[in-house]
Amino acid sequence: MGLDLHYHNGQIPIDEEEKDDLLIRTISTRGELDELEQANIAEAIEWGFKVKHKKDEVLAIDFIKELHKRMFSEVWDWAGSFRRTNKNIGVDKYSIVQELYKLTKDCRSWIENRVYPEDEIAVRYKFRMVSIHPFPNGNGRHSRICGDILVSQVLNQPVFTWGGKDIGKQGEFRNRYLNALYQADKGDMSLLIAFARSG
């Protein structure tokens, strides 16, 4: 029995080789996979917010990897490991570490020099993270939690609501989110910032 996944608009397919790293072989549908991943992600969120993380900890490649590992370690063998294949979005697989290093360095500068308001710093960080697309899968969810931890624990603002609904479900709500990402990709962060606080 193989894993049969149907992808929503904007979701990046998991390669067949990556599917082979599913830890629970009885999972066969998108619904079963989503349920298992969500339980794992809930544990990662609890870890992420249980103790206050400092700026230098949050803005570190080890933290980025550890959060992803905690989000998916009960589901995927590649949890917390950078992707080994190229996707139709994201940087080249060989540039991931370099681009994340640049991102964390840039974000420190945004904070120290007050280049943008707090919400915009966290949303820009989230957006650049998902644009790099460091992991085989889960990049959208991972980048949103990274933004939440940054905005609340480093920038001392409320956690984002991201519309207050499940972004993963197909429909008008997901389309609004994807449109905000598309506009951010063209240099206009305003819709994504507004979406992060909507709901």
List the structure tokens of 163: 């519309």
pLDDT of residue 61: 98
Give the count of domains, the chain. 1
Digitized pLDDT (tens) for each residue of the chain, 199 residues in all? 455 665 555 566 677 888 888 898 888 888 888 899 999 999 999 999 988 899 999 999 999 999 999 999 999 999 999 999 999 999 999 999 999 999 999 999 999 999 999 999 999 999 999 999 999 999 999 999 999 999 999 999 999 999 888 787 777 888 899 999 999 999 999 999 999 999 8
- Whether 27 is covered by a domain: the verdict is yes
Can you state the percent helix, strand and coil of the chain, rounding each to 5?
A: 60, 0, 40
pTM for this structure? 0.91
Q: Is 194 exposed, middle or buried (0-12, 13-18, 19+ CB in 10 A)?
A: middle
pLDDT of residue 27: 85
- The verdict on residue 3 lying in a domain is no
Cα–Cα dist 10/7, whole Å: 8
Does a structural domain hold residue 89? yes
pLDDT at 3: 59
Q: Cα-atom radius of gyration of the chain, to the nearest Å?
A: 16
Residue 116 within any structural domain of the chain: yes
Predicted local distance difference test score (pLDDT) of residue 1: 43
pLDDT of residue 92: 98
Residue 135 belongs to a domain with what CATH number? 1.10.3290.10
